[in-house]
Amino acid sequence: MKFKPDSFVVAILIVILLAWFFPQWGLPQSGIPLDRIGSIGVSFIFFFYGLRLSPDKLRAGLKNWHLHVLVQLSTFLMFPLLVLVLYPFMQSSSHASIWLALLFLAALPSTVSSSVVMVSVAKGNLPAAIFNASISGLIGIAITPLWMGLFMQQQTGHYDLSSIYSKLLLEILLPVVLGILLQRFGGQLAIRYHRQLSLFDKSVILLIIYKSFAESFAGDLYAQVAWLDFALIAVVVLALFYVVYALIGIISKRLHFSIEDQITAQFCGTKKSLVHGTVFSKILFAQAGTTGLMLLPLMLFHAFQILVISVYASRLAKREANTN
């Protein structure tokens, strides 16, 4: 099978290189209002998300509750608990921020688009994938800040959960609700032009990534990350994926899931959303000045999950032909 690199991953790498060579454009003194543009863009992302979110499909998806519980517990409990195991070993001054970045990755919701696409390719339970990917983002608005609040107060001393929830409600939840309420007027248009809206989503994410890394490069933040620390992050990211993937597989078999449900559980339960991670980092770490570092494990995980799940999906898609 010929490997084709994901275009969005390539775009992310290009944007990071731009931030490395031209960090001045992402600084407040540049005069370019990237913060305001990013905030408006984020609100539109979730407004369009609400336009495309089908309440009928969400209601129908509630029937397969065993599968949904497994996926959401994997996303919001299994991942963070595995990272918590490392907490006693990563509390030195050089590793505390890295551990917090790993916890941020672990506390994020599942991604929507790639989960649904990969489940479809692998011939899994597509309606359940749509339900879980959609509901995960809404749950993450409440759960992710709670996980981070348990430890950020200790490290930064100024983690204000009330102001963070206010921003999340204003920039994310309110646009989602407005989108759902206006589905009868713009829902079909949002579905028809989903490719163009996806391009808009990615453009906003790339803008936020550029600003985050530009500020980090300008402040020499990554000079504090040694090559051994980078290797540590990569190893933990890989281990997180494979351990969760294996555990979900074991639990799925114990619960006597069909192969379609097991595919959906493993594909949705091991994904982490770059969109939500980038947006949440903009709000959660706005005062900490470490947004670029907090996104580093997520960037690695995003590229890795796309590569591995793509291979798995292609193999699983051939199972019916192999059994005939």
Tens of pLDDT, residue by residue over 61-105, are 567 889 999 999 999 999 999 999 999 888 776 688 889 999 999
What type of residue is 319? R
Tens of pLDDT, residue by residue over 278-303, are 888 877 876 655 666 788 898 888 87
Tens of pLDDT, residue by residue over 125-173, are 877 887 887 788 889 888 998 898 888 765 554 556 666 667 777 777 7
Q: Are 139 and 72 in contact (CB under 8 A)?
A: yes
Q: Residue 324 — very low, low, confident or very high, per pLDDT cuts 50/70/90? A: very low
Nearest to residue 15, comparing CAs of 31, 4, 26? 26
Ramachandran angles phi, psi of 129, nearest 5°: -65, -45
Q: Are 257 and 265 in contact (CB under 8 A)?
A: yes
Look up the CATH number of domain 31-310: 1.20.1530.20
Poorest-confidence range of 1-15, 20-34, 198-212, 227-241?
Answer: 1-15
Whole-number Å distance between alpha carbons of 293 and 224: 10
Model pLDDT, residue 69: 94
Model pLDDT, residue 222: 61
Mean pLDDT for 190-216 is: 80
Model pLDDT, residue 1: 47
Model pLDDT, residue 287: 61
Mean pLDDT for 23-46 is: 80
Model pLDDT, residue 114: 66
Model pLDDT, residue 134: 75
**In the chain, where are the structural domains located?**
31-310
Model pLDDT, residue 73: 96
